[in-house]
Structure 1
Amino acid sequence: MPTDQWSDAVSPVSGKYSAFGFLLRRWRRQRGMSQLDLALATGVSGRHLSFVETGRSRPKRALVLTLAEALDMPLRERNELLLAAGLPAAYFEFDYDSAELSVYRSAIAELIENHLPYPALVLNRWGDVVDANRTAFAMFPELVAEQPVNLYQAYLSSDHWKAVIENWSEVAWAAYGHLQGDAARYCGDQRMQSLLRFIEDCLKDVPKPANLPSSPSIRTRLNLNGQVLETTTMVAHFGPVNDVFLSELRVEMIFPANDNARRFFAMF
């Protein structure tokens, strides 16, 4: 059987394929690349790439990083690929509250405070709420908890939001599509796969929108006592970083998209 036809079901510890080769092959196939494609993209000989993928040759650090870059792997997964090759991790991973991230934490605090009176939420890779401004906590009281709350789980399982959002099917399925995109980017992330299954269960009775959105972005339409508030969302990320946590962090800023929404948020 040709090497490139090997199934991912084969154990990565069977002896035929190394743990590194197992991960590399999975990412290569996820990106729709053959060994030849990856070899051409990195300037590595096809023979050598085959040897490191099957475990016949041990890759050096520079090669692992080159392959990870060509496969557009996130930083967390690049560290995992290095560790699977028996090499030390290349990227930092500090806690959000650490002194090392104080500059970035201050920048985020300034951003979300300056966004007032509109809501802003700080989310990690999986959609856990790391921080938010006071309007966001007022609008989403379910986020006020001792442990981080997952926005996907709290939002899409909420009967309240399902009742007040007029275009619930459009908004909910858009959230699912966003997570699908993240799951493709973070190949093999089991928690993300579990979140996808959770959302699928939440949406099992929610029909998919039959038509394309009628505006340039999907606007959330909240009906509050007969007043329809339209909002839209902008997402901010840090520029190139060498820290796993920062590379996965995003700030979602909600903006008013009609006068009703502007008047509503002015009360906060």
Structure 2
Amino acid sequence: MVDRFGDVLREWRQLRRMSQMDLGLSAGVSPRHISFLESGRALPSRGMVLRLCDELEVPGGARNRWLTSAGLAPAYHSRNGDAPEMAPLTQAVDWMLSRHAPYPAMAVDRHWRLKTMNRPARAMFAATGLGAGDGLIDALLDNPALAAALENRDEVERLSLTRLRTELAHFGRDPVLEQAVARLAERVARQPGAADAPMPAVIPARYRLGEAVLSFFTTITQFGATGDIAMSELRIEMFFPADDATRQMVEALWGNATPGN
């Protein structure tokens, strides 16, 4: 079923909690014109579609849906990673992952599927069987080895749910993320006192590795200027020690992992 442009516009306007008046003023058109676009009484130009996408902060992949629903050609594409024009981007990913050693780092797509990991991350997750193509949300919910390794699994699940909901609001309608949110929310709702749990300044994940416990917090990096859909949605997650004991253990375990990936 082909989307109708007016329905797509209304969906995103409501997602961003903007009235027709608000959107019209920010986009430099009349609220009446926004109303006509939503009802189908007016059709947008390509420039108008992209201007509204800018005002509603619609990500690149979703903009294709806007354009095709208006009967226009898509503007964004997912290229083969081996394409020559992709080399600077893939090299940047490899550089960030390898230079982050001896600390773990990984790249995941918009659905939290693992794309690649550096050597410390592969070593840390070796016992779980996680590898390229595996979904981190599925692993968090269904992988018994990961469950056993995570000492604060409940806390990690709550944090992951918050992050997933934020990403779903950014990407808009996405059945995969919606299903992940529903499954994780059901788990979190069964945690005793989850709603009253305070949020500390640093929320580490504590991984058991043999007799040691490694405590990490993470940062997330993404590309700020690319017209490729897959690369614009790629997330590079870097792990940092949350305490001195973890830092010393990591440097002892994987200090020789630099600079290779």
- TM-score interval, smaller chain: 0.7 to 0.9
The offset of 1:202, in angstroms, is 4.3
User: Does residue 1:218 correspond to 2:184, yes or no?
Assistant: no
Residue 204 of structure 1, CA deviation = 5.1
Residues 124-155 of structure 1, C-alpha deviation per residue, up to 9 Å, x if partnerless?
1111111111111222232236xx11111113
Q: Is the 8 A contact 1:157 1:202 kept in 2?
A: no
Name the CA distance, whole Å, in 1 between partners of 2:125 and 2:212: 19
Deviates more, 1:78-87 or 1:132-141: 132-141
Aligned match of 2:22 in 6, 18, 37? Answer: 37
Moved more, 134-143 or 172-181: 134-143
CA contact (8 A) 1:236 1:250 kept: yes
> What displacement does 1:201 show?
4.3
Number of residue pairs aligned between Structure 1 and Structure 2: 250
> Separation in 2 of the partners of 1:200 and 1:182?
15
What's the CA shift string for 1:53-98, capped at 9, x where partnerless? Answer: 1111111011000111111111111111011101111223213343
1:144 maps to what in 2?
131
Bigger RCO of structures 1 and 2 (CA < 8 A, at least 6 apart) = 2
SS at match of 2:227: coil
Q: How does 1:1-268 map to 2 (within 5 A)?
A: 19-141=4-126, 142-144=129-131, 148-203=133-188, 205-207=190-192, 208=194, 210-214=196-200, 216-224=201-209, 227-266=212-251, 267-268=253-254
CA distance in 2, matches of 1:80, 1:213: 37
* Contact 1:222 1:228 (8 Å CA) reproduced: yes
Structure 1 residue 225 displacement after superposition: 5.6
2:257 alignment partner in structure 1: none
- What per-residue deviation string (whole Å, max 9, x for no partner) do you get for residues 196-248 of structure 1? 1232344454332633233x221122345664432111111112222211211
| Structure 1: distance between partners of 2:209 and 2:228 | 41
- The SS at the match of 1:253 is strand
Q: TM-score under structure 1 normalisation?
A: 0.86
Separation in 1 of the partners of 2:46 and 2:70? 8
Q: Which has a greater percent of helix?
A: 2
Q: SS of 1:113's equivalent? A: helix
Amino-acid identity (%): 35
8 Å CA contact 1:64–1:81 kept in 2: the answer is: yes
Query: Quick check: 222-231 or 169-178, which moved more?
Result: 222-231
What letter matches 1:143 in structure 2? L
Structure 1 vs Structure 2 CA RMSD: 2.1
